[in-house]
Amino acid sequence: MSKDTTSEHLRAELKSLADTLEEVLSASTDKSKSELEKLRGKAEKALKESRVRLGDTGDIIAKQTREAASKADDYVRENPWTGVGIGAAIGVVLGVLMTRR
């Protein structure tokens, strides 16, 4: 799953949960007790499903982050002077940006 796909999945999941909760809140004012219990059950189910899916998404993001860090570490180990040069360049750019403030 790509980073963009993961982000889109996360947005869709949160929107679905928000829509379900909005339905429960807006409908709760003029419903009977049994209807409220049905809506509450629906909201609880949506929340549980979202937690599972969001947990899976978090695991995917953590895995992608570990892979990226590992690749960066491998690159720096194979090309130490390039890594030093990149670090120095970033330091210079940050120094210039900070002195302008």
Can you tell me the distance from the alpha carbon of 10 to that of 58, in angstroms, rounded to the nearest whole number? 9
Can you tell me the distance from the alpha carbon of 90 to that of 16, in angstroms, rounded to the nearest whole number? 41
Neighbours of 2 (CB within 10 A): 9
Residues of the chain with pLDDT under 70: 1-4, 6, 24-31, 101
- Residue 8's pLDDT is 76
Q: What is the pTM of this model?
A: 0.41
Asked whether 51 and 80 are in contact (CB, 8 A), the reply is: no
